[in-house]
Amino acid sequence: MSETFFRALVVTKNDDKTFTREVTERKINDLPEGEVLIRVRYSSLNFKDGLSCIGNPGVTRNYPHTPGIDASGEVAESSDSRFKEGDFVIVSGYNLGMDTSGG
């Protein structure tokens, strides 16, 4: 992955077990290795994202965390033969935005 930055909502669990939220810049290189990197064009925050933001352990257990269970955009990099750079995709559900960085 390239040394590129992106803006994201990041939820952090503090030592006193409270949660803080802020929009900040993150490095793409800090994301876990995966099969497909999407240049997100549209995303939303919904009820499940709200639960993640307040620390609901049934939704998210790993912090710091970027919520966002729904996203659409363009494939930037892919090691999966089903997706190639430039493909437009929609992602929703499974673990996206829960314990995997969201969109």
CA 97 to chain centre: 5
* Sequence letter at residue 11: V
The SS3 call for residue 60 is coil
Is 98 a domain residue? no
Domain enclosing residue 37, as ranges: 5-92
Q: How many Cβ atoms from other residues are within 10 Å of residue 26's Cβ?
A: 16
CATH of the domain at 19: 3.90.180.10
Is 102 a domain residue? no
Is 82 a domain residue? yes
CA distance 68 to 88: 18
Please, are residues 83 and 89 in contact by the beta-carbon 8 Å criterion?
Answer: yes
CA distance 99 to 91: 15
Q: What's the average model confidence in pLDDT over 71-97? A: 91
Q: What's the average model confidence in pLDDT over 5-20? A: 94
Of 10-24, 63-77, 88-102, give the lowest mean pLDDT range.
88-102
User: What's the total number of domains in the chain?
Assistant: 1
Is 35 a domain residue? yes
2 pLDDT higher than 60: no
Is 32 a domain residue? yes
Higher pLDDT, 34 or 44: 44
| Reported pTM | 0.81
DSSP 34: -
79 pLDDT higher than 80: yes
Higher pLDDT, 34 or 62: 62
Is 46 a domain residue? yes
